[in-house]
């Protein structure tokens, strides 16, 4: 039940970016979930039911324009040699991620 619910929440997070972070956080426990993780997923569903008019509306359009830009800096930090990855995605000229 937990895996199916989180899978559906991941799908919903594409049009509801305000839940993307908490869904990805809850998704980390997919392989060994506990009762608390199910309660978090159910709380997200409860939040979604309380805010039905929020989200991104995708209108039917033949000219959907999707652009993504990335930047990677491998071992850019001299101190810890960690990589930095940046990205942004634009849908019809509007920043989505």
Q: How confident is the model at residue 1 (pLDDT cuts 50, 70, 90)?
A: confident
Average pLDDT over residues 72-86: 77
Instruction: Look up tokens 């937990």; give the residue.
Output: 2
The pLDDT score that the predictor gives to residue 51 is 84
> What pLDDT, on a 0 to 100 scale, did the predictor assign at position 17?
80
At 35 the pLDDT is 92
Do 6 and 26 meet the contact criterion of CB atoms below 8 Å apart? yes
How many angstroms separate the CA atoms of 7 and 23, rounded?
9
- SS3 for the chain is CHHHHHHHHHHHCCCCHHHHHHHHHHHCCCCCCCHHHHHHHHHHHHHHHHCCCCCCCCCCCCCCCEEEEEEEECCCCCCCCCCEEEEEEEECCEECC
pLDDT at 36: 92
pLDDT digit string, tens, across residues 23-78: 988 888 888 888 998 899 999 999 988 887 777 666 777 777 889 999 888 777 77
């Amino acid at each position: 039940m937990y895996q199916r619910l989180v899978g559906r929440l991941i799908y919903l997070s594409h049009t509801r970016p305000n839940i993307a972070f908490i869904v990805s956080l809850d998704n980390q426990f997919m392989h060994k979930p506990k009762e608390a993780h199910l309660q978090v997923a159910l709380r997200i569903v409860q939040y979604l039911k309380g805010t039905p008019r929020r989200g991104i509306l995708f209108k039917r359009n033949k000219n959907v324009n999707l652009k993504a830009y990335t930047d990677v800096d491998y071992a850019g930090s001299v101190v810890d040699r960690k990589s930095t990855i940046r990205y942004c995605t634009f849908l019809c000229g509007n920043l989505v991620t």
